[in-house]
């Protein structure tokens, strides 16, 4: 029926893997911090490590700018992040992690790393590289058109 040929199947396999991974991540993150999402945890990590604008974060993790605005504003509401205006370029936001954000991140980072390790368990570095190469080909094929 639907999963009839390899080039179709692959997209189901991708969807299945990414959703399983997100589910695992969400579950594990919730164990240590109950009010933060997987995306927010990742973004918190990015902000803490870099002086970076919303647009740059969005490009980095493949999010829409509109989504980024909303995610950041939820993070501000929950007091993980503070946002100010860049005085050199008043269009740009300056994002800073709060004390609460820092404390949370200390608990989150090992969880995020562990999730990645668990999910790639039994897969060699070579296989991961292969996987990445093929996925990049798909990405390029899609972007050309």
Binding positions for DNA, rule: CB under 7 A:
19, 22-23, 26-27, 37, 39-40, 53-56, 63-74, 83, 88-93
Q: What is the rounded CA–CA span in Å between residue 25 and residue 28?
A: 5
66 contacts which partner out of DNA, its own copies, none, CB within 5 to 8 A by kind?
DNA
84 contacts which partner out of DNA, its own copies, none, CB within 5 to 8 A by kind?
none
Binding of its own copies by 18 (CB under 8 A): yes
Binding of its own copies by 66 (CB under 8 A): no
Q: Which of 37, 45, 98, 109 binds its own copies (CB under 8 A)?
A: 45
What part of residues 107-126 is at the interface with its own copies (CB under 8 A)? 116-123, 125
Residues near its own copies (CB under 8 A) are 1-2, 6-21, 23-24, 27-28, 45-46, 49-50, 60-62, 116-123, 125, 127-132, 134-139, 141-143, 145
């Amino acid at each position: 029926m639907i999963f009839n040929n390899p080039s179709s199947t692959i997209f189901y396999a991708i969807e299945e893997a990414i959703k399983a991974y997100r589910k695992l991540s969400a579950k594990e993150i919730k164990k240590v911090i109950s009010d933060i999402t997987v995306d927010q945890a990742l973004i918190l990590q990015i902000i803490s490590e870099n002086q970076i604008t919303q647009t740059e974060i969005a490009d980095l993790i493949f999010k829409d700018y509109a989504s980024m605005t909303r995610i950041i504003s939820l993070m501000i509401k929950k007091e993980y992040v503070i946002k100010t205006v860049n005085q050199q370029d008043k269009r740009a936001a300056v994002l800073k992690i709060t004390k609460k954000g820092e404390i949370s991140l200390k608990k989150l980072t090992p969880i995020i790393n562990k999730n990645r390790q668990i999910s790639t368990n039994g897969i060699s570095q070579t296989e991961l590289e292969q996987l990445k190469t093929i996925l990049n080909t798909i990405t390029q094929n899609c972007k050309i058109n």
